[in-house]
């Protein structure tokens, strides 16, 4: 998943999965330092 601007993990999880509760999964999978700030770049995500 490409991220073009800094966004919270909650927003990205909701946009991708329609479920903000999956934000922690994204944070752990990508070893993000802070869930409130996901930097631009490419994220690893689950297949649904």
Contact at 8 Å (CB) between 24 and 32?
no
Q: What is the pLDDT of residues 3-19, one digit of tens each?
A: 999 999 999 999 999 99
Specify the pLDDT at position 46: 84
pTM: predicted TM-score of the whole model, two decimal places: 0.86
Query: Rounded to an integer, what distance in angstroms lies between the CA atom of residue 19 and that of residue 13?
Result: 6
Q: How does DSSP classify residue 45? A: -
The pLDDT tens digits for 24-38 are: 999 999 999 999 999
> What is the residue extent of each domain of the chain?
2-42
Q: How far apart are CA 22 and CA 13, in angstroms?
A: 6
Longest pairwise C-alpha distance within the chain: 23
Task: Show Cβ contacts of residue 4 under 8 Å, excluding neighbours closer than 6 positions.
Answer: 40
Confidence of residue 47 (pLDDT cuts 50, 70, 90): confident
């Amino acid at each position: 998943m490409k991220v073009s601007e800094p966004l919270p993990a909650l927003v990205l999880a909701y946009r991708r999965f329609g479920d903000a509760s999956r934000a922690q999964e994204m944070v752990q999978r990508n070893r993000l330092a802070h869930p409130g700030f996901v930097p631009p770049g490419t994220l690893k995500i689950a297949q649904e």
